[in-house]
Chains A and B, each alone.
Chain A
Amino acid sequence: MNIVFILVDIMLVVAIGITFVRLVLGPTMVNRVVALDLMAILLVGMMAVEAVRSGEHALLDVAVIIGITAFIGTAAFAVLIDREPNDE
């Protein structure tokens, strides 16, 4: 069981690192918004794994709240980009 948690954590941390590369590279703002959204979802997954490992199931509530906040943030960014004047 222990090796499984180590393996899963390594995979999730590598995934967050790769997403961070896209967050830094991302040619436009929309790409960065997508990368941030994916990072929040990866964080929710990490918290679910931590809830299984520690047996502290209150962490799942925190994970749901992070998911809700990430969705509201993405929707707000989309509306903000949508409202910008199109000057090309």
Chain B
Amino acid sequence: MMNDVLIVFCLLSGAFFMLVAAIGILKLPDLYQRLHASSKAATLGVALLLLGAALHSGDMGVISRCFIAIVFFMLTAPVGAHLITRAAYKHQEPLAKETLSDEWAEDRKDLKL
């Protein structure tokens, strides 16, 4: 009974965070803020969904695979976001109008990142 409540909580909150990530990727004004939504909220969402699956199974093999998957997503999401952001900044991806400071703005074109 308690386990069922935990599984339902994990599934619902995970799906909620993934929905938040999708809304963020549609509504936020520039690429850097969109990556902010997709790499944080989506990682949390998928981690919660996999945790729900691990709690549901109760089998040690499945639990360890879910744990490995969660660790994998937490490791790769920032790496992928960093690679994409670096390539985009180097190729003059525009920043939002509300941006307050862009310290590399003048020598952005011949930037050796």
Binding site for B on A (CB under 8 A): 1, 4-5, 7-8, 11-12, 14-16, 18-19, 21-22, 28, 30-31, 33-35, 37-38, 41-42, 44-45, 48-49, 51-52, 57, 60-61, 63-64, 67-68, 71, 74-75, 77-79, 81-82, 84, 86, 88
Contact = CB atoms under 8 A, between A and B. Distances in A.
B23 A30 contact: no
A35 B61 CA distance: 32
Interface of B: 4, 7-8, 11-12, 14-16, 18-19, 21-23, 25-26, 31, 34-35, 38, 42-43, 45-46, 49-50, 52-53, 56-57, 59, 62, 65-66, 68-69, 72-73, 76, 79-80, 83-84, 86-88, 90-93, 109
Q: Is the interface of A mostly helix, strand, loop or mixed?
A: helix
A31 B30 CA distance: 9
B84 A84 contact: no
Contacts of B25: 18-19, 22, 34-35, 38
B52 A88 contact: no
Contacts of A63: 50, 69
B79 to A, nearest CB: 8
A5 to B, nearest CB: 8
